[in-house]
Structure 1
């Protein structure tokens, strides 16, 4: 007999977990809607040509490929096998599972550009897949909740993302978190100032690992990638910023990167974004300017965002940024966009670890109707209909059994009220309602019961 198992990096979610996850989805969805975003879904699989080349070399290696239907190796030759995986993959796999929701969104925009009103604001809440090494807080299948705006380069969009992040975490009651901001133009300016212009991509990939591997190993990786000792020495100011006050960090950056026009533009964009957030009237802001924030995805060109919950051993729970030409890969250059992605699985882990889910988040059935016999069902079924019409989650115990078994069922499912219907209740029309939390039992008519539950 085969023992049932799950693929590593994936999870089942039982009813209690799903109720809590749905609370997170609902909170994020309602926030997206309040900010004017429209819903969208795209297929789980995309053509590999759509996905490859958009996430950098490391991202491409994490794509899940789908073998072609039928005899997928029929056209493979000895030469293909000798050429290695890069030569072989296009022969046996034309499709892959989506790595994120942004690239499929860009593909959708290009395919439907004549039908969309620009700027186009969409939200998308679907699973993504990455062939990563599973570990705490890192899964191979996980949900993302994305909101993107395309068709405008206005920094109001960046400011709205900052505001939206604060609103989501406020409604999720996560109080201790940090919204980190940076700009890829600043990283490009740093590359210029330390003497490696145009290599901000390599620089970003290494710096993006700073939290995971530390400063020394980041410098070692840069050295392995051809950065000289003089270059890495010039990078030293990057690791010594005081990130407590955003305005102070921006002033330090202006001084250090004064010789780089592109860096000054990135600094000005961050400054304007913060100004717009202040004009909105955001109070108790959790914003930090972090020049070491890189975001490894290669398509970012402007502002980049990352959110971390403090006091828990879990990585970033949200991230995003500005991309100026992601649609260019699909034949529609120059369409700027910016977006944010919330990682539901990590947010769940944070809220679970901090015990932040509201007591009613996992609440399912509110009332269990418990008829003792067939005659009692003639009273129970109309009552069940009335409860549901009153928008109360209600169910009836299906089997004829002992009262104790029905009450045990209610306790096991944390159902707070049980309506007991025996021969006396059938004759009098007065129902016995047991509060499973307090143990109190009362006599109510159906009308009184409905009024009280409402």
Structure 2
């Protein structure tokens, strides 16, 4: 007996219903991207390793899937290197390509390669899968889609304001209430590290702070101590671990803490600009809140940082995130091009909508009407009506085989098809159709015009 096949851990198959629902989310996001003026691009599923490595910090680099070179790649490795059994030294010898970890770094590479073909500021969106060698768990997969929008070539903070609006517009159109858009600024984090004397440990400081909601104040304190940040330094920022109050109150406390840091104060001013833009322009469904512990462990953010939290009743991580990266294209040799972007987590949004029962009934509807097959002559008559219905935008099918009527009706029931049409010898003679409403069991003998009207209604 053949062994039952499987799929890699952290990946999934999607059936028709799941794909339909995912496409609903994708189309909703795509519609809003285009309403806001973003243009679509696509990049390869894998990149040269040196394009990706070193762009996501030490933790991110470990999660990049590497692709082995083709052919007899081990024959090109010197024996002394192979015998060391050191993965870090061996990897560059046997792999030159890797699956993309996100869409932002490939986008930066795209901008550099096509800089003479695009007009700045350039607004792009991209909806494609990415891969991460992460530990699979609820809402976290090794293969998943990202839906990104970015702007490069503009320093204006109005771009950040528009991204807040974009988040709000998408979740409003998905009817997802209670979403929180968290915002912080990397300059504030740098300022905090400066005033506590830990500027040389900025990444360690921010990575630990970003885990506050997962490991709590004591866990953050222990991690910072483990990274060499002193007790005295940690005590200075300890008030942030239990930070509450309005956005204004949070910024006032930060202003006091960062009074000696020019960079930190600049970050506060940038946050104030974004928040002030919404004084006379309310959001539809989302809440915008300052979260000083929000750090996101990516090396390339330099200004605003975004993270979107799902409604509290759903135990789920972030469903979106992003930020400003003033020097991202600089890593590929193109200096002075500022960028800012956000991402939607398709898979997590799907799980949230499913748990809250927010997918519209119309999204889950597949075939609207099935014509039963009573033989070749009857099918010739039916297929003409099927064709007309399809041209009218109605999802219609003809059962392909002349099976027993019970089998065909069971097929319609299992597929939850709301209408069935019976067209036999008498219907052909009278140029009519017998329409059965499956949910009521009622039948009507009608002409084509009324058939189309009833199905559309």
Specify the TM-score bucket, using the shorter chain as the normaliser: over 0.9
Q: CA deviation at 1:447?
A: 2.0
Whether the 8 Å contact between 1:162 and 1:277 is mirrored in structure 2 is no
Is 1:296 matched up with 2:297?
yes
Per-residue CA shift, 1:235-260, capped at 9, x if unaligned?
A: 202112114x2122111211221111
Whether the 8 Å contact between 2:419 and 2:455 is mirrored in structure 1 is no
Q: CA deviation at 1:284?
A: 5.2
Q: Could you tell me which of 384, 404, 407 is aligned with 2:406?
A: 404
SS state at 1:333 partner: coil
Q: CA deviation at 1:3?
A: 1.5
Q: CA deviation at 1:215?
A: 1.8
Name the counterpart of 2:77: 76
Per-residue CA shift, 1:383-417, capped at 9, x if unaligned?
A: 11101110111111000012221111111111111
Alignment of 1:208-357 (within 5 A): 208-243=210-245, 245-283=246-284, 285-309=286-310, 310-357=312-359
Whether the 8 Å contact between 1:147 and 1:340 is mirrored in structure 2 is yes
Distance 1:421 1:7 in 2: 48
Distance 1:118 1:51 in 2: 24
SS state at 1:419 partner: strand
Q: CA deviation at 1:98?
A: 0.2
Distance 2:285 2:405 in 1: 53
SS state at 2:197 partner: coil
Name the counterpart of 1:385: 387
Distance 2:359 2:452 in 1: 28
SS state at 1:277 partner: coil
Q: Which consecutive unaligned segments of at least 5 residues does structure 2 have?
A: none
Distance 2:35 2:5 in 1: 43
Q: CA deviation at 1:181?
A: 0.4
Name the counterpart of 2:6: 5
**Higher mean displacement: 120-129 or 357-366:** 357-366
Name the counterpart of 1:159: 161
Distance 2:163 2:375 in 1: 58
Distance 1:69 1:196 in 2: 45
Distance 1:75 1:393 in 2: 57
Per-residue CA shift, 1:46-72, capped at 9, x if unaligned?
A: 000000010000100000000001112
Whether the 8 Å contact between 2:178 and 2:286 is mirrored in structure 1 is no
Distance 2:341 2:26 in 1: 17
**Higher mean displacement: 1-10 or 298-307:** 1-10
Q: CA deviation at 1:103?
A: 0.2
Name the counterpart of 1:173: 175
Distance 1:59 1:164 in 2: 27
Distance 2:87 2:278 in 1: 48
Name the counterpart of 2:54: 53
**Higher mean displacement: 291-300 or 80-89:** 80-89
Q: Could you tell me which of 89, 92, 97 is aligned with 2:91?
A: 89
Name the counterpart of 1:25: 26
Whether the 8 Å contact between 1:178 and 1:286 is mirrored in structure 2 is yes
Q: CA deviation at 1:314?
A: 1.1
Q: CA deviation at 1:285?
A: 4.6
Alignment of 1:71-150 (within 5 A): 71-81=72-82, 82=84, 84-150=86-152
Q: Could you tell me which of 420, 423, 433 is aligned with 1:421?
A: 423
Q: Which consecutive unaligned segments of at least 5 residues does structure 1 have?
A: none
**Higher mean displacement: 132-141 or 208-217:** 208-217
- TM (norm. structure 2) is 0.97
Name the counterpart of 2:205: 203
Distance 1:284 1:130 in 2: 31
Whether the 8 Å contact between 1:163 and 1:277 is mirrored in structure 2 is no
SS state at 2:278 partner: helix
Distance 2:295 2:339 in 1: 18
SS state at 1:94 partner: strand
SS state at 2:59 partner: helix
Name the counterpart of 1:66: 67
Distance change (3 Å), C-alpha of 1:93 and 1:259: same
Distance 1:22 1:278 in 2: 35
- TM (norm. structure 1) is 0.97
Per-residue CA shift, 1:347-391, capped at 9, x if unaligned?
A: 111111111111111211111111312210121111111011101
Distance 2:16 2:284 in 1: 37
Q: CA deviation at 1:279?
A: 4.1
Q: Could you tell me which of 350, 357, 360 is aligned with 1:358?
A: 360
